[in-house]
Amino acid sequence: MNVTNADRARILVHALPYIQKYNGKIVVVKYGGNAMVNEKLKNSVVRDIVLLNLIGVRVVLVHGGGPEITEMLSKIGKQSQFVDGLRVTDRETVEIAQMVLAGKINKSLVNLIECCGGSSIGLSGLDGHMIQAAVKDSRLGFVGEITKVDPQPILDLLEKGYIPVVSTVGCDSQGNVYNINADTAAAKIAGALQAESLISLTDTPGILRDKNDPATLISRITVAQTRALIAQGVICDGMIPKVECCTNAIMDGVKKVFIIDGRIPHSILIETLTDEGIGTMFEKGEIV
């Protein structure tokens, strides 16, 4: 398909109201799923983030890395165990998680952002004790429940024009390190920053009334409606904790939260800079 200069101009004019809306505002992107392991999609996500940064959006990238942790544990002959979907994390495992999350993945993303023309600095929840945590469940070992987020290190980087890339490990006052669920961390960070929006990249189109039918996508939903759909079993299994993180972010003051399909190239731009949107948007009040 040939795109003329006139077509390009119309696209930019169409995007102008959204650029004005988000200029100077904080947008937190939770990055995970297939978009994080597929190299083509990874480049698409990073280019979207760099573009938003260049037009004045203050983007914060929060990432997990469960598959990479599993892969590294396998290399050293350690089998992963899970309880209620969460990894049992002994002291050796949390050391591996810290190495993979705060080291390999975090710095690779920072490097990729720089290569795409952005300016980025990586952080972990340990820096400045930004993410403080306590034991979530004694059965899980060093899996953390967030007790406090200090957003100042992130704000300092945003003020200087950097894209902060945050890995989700935290600590307590005794220096113990905890592995933190990335959805939970992104929601807490977005709330602490009073972000304009939180965008969660997933491997699903959003919330579906029928999980086998993408045509049943619910494009807008309130906190009360999510609770009803959980009770009805429409929202179930692994979507429940993701949805709960989204609604918690709304209750903590984030204006809008989105679950979008990270497998679609440039999904962040489609959701942010067009009036169509592609996923599910969460709001606090009732939809009129």
Query: Which residues participate in catalysis according to the annotation?
Result: 30, 33, 66, 183, 242
Q: Which helix (H) or strand (E) holds 227?
A: helix 223-232
Main-chain phi, psi angles of 265, to 5 degrees: -55, 135
Contacts of 120 by beta carbon, 8 Å cutoff, 6+ apart: 109, 110, 113, 114, 162, 163, 164, 165
The token pair at 154 is: 């992130």
Q: Is the dihedral of CA 43, 47, 48, 50 positive or negative?
A: positive
Instruction: Round to whole Å and give the CA distance between 175 and 126.
Output: 9
Contacts of 259 by beta carbon, 8 Å cutoff, 6+ apart: 200, 202, 204, 206, 207, 242, 243, 246, 279, 280, 282
- Characterize the bridge pairing of strands 220-222 and 280-283: parallel
228-240 burial code (b ≥16 CB/10 A, e <16)? ebbeeebbeeebe
124-160 burial code (b ≥16 CB/10 A, e <16)? bbbbebbbbbeebeeebbbbbebeebebebbbebbee
